Amino acid sequence: MPTDPLDALVAAPRHHTLLLENERVRVLDTRIAPGETVPLHTHAWPAVYYVLAYADIIRRDEHGRITFDSRNMPNPLPGQALWAAPLAPHTLENVGATEVHVISVELKQPG
């Protein structure tokens, strides 16, 4: 179990479920219902995100400033994979009408 109090599994366990973890990867199942906001948390490693269902989201930093608003861009499609760098402390609000459902594969070791 992670020890960082802002790790996604510690700070937001209602939204993140651990599917697999070893010394190289961590696989999370993330679900955010419409209108929900995921509490402040981090993702320490780069990851591949596999989109199962998507809605518009707003990401805010630890000070509440908007750092990402998907309403200003095309949404990924179900079945699409995305790459993301590690994420500093943030919240994530589902401002859409449907659930966000993403599987993330976090790469714990380079190479």
DSSP per residue over 59-103, as a string?
Answer: EEETTS-EEEEGGGSPPPPTT-EEEE--EEEEEEEE-SSS-EEEE
How confident is the model over 84-108, as pLDDT tens digits? Answer: 999 999 999 999 999 999 999 999 9
pLDDT tens readout for residues 3-19: 899 999 999 999 999 99
pLDDT tens-place string over residues 38-50: 999 999 999 999 9
Question: How buried is 94 (Cβ within 10 angstroms: 0-12 exposed, 13-18 middle, 19+ buried)?
Answer: buried
Q: Are 80 and 51 in contact (CB under 8 A)?
A: yes
Record the pTM: 0.92
Q: How many residues does the chain have?
A: 111
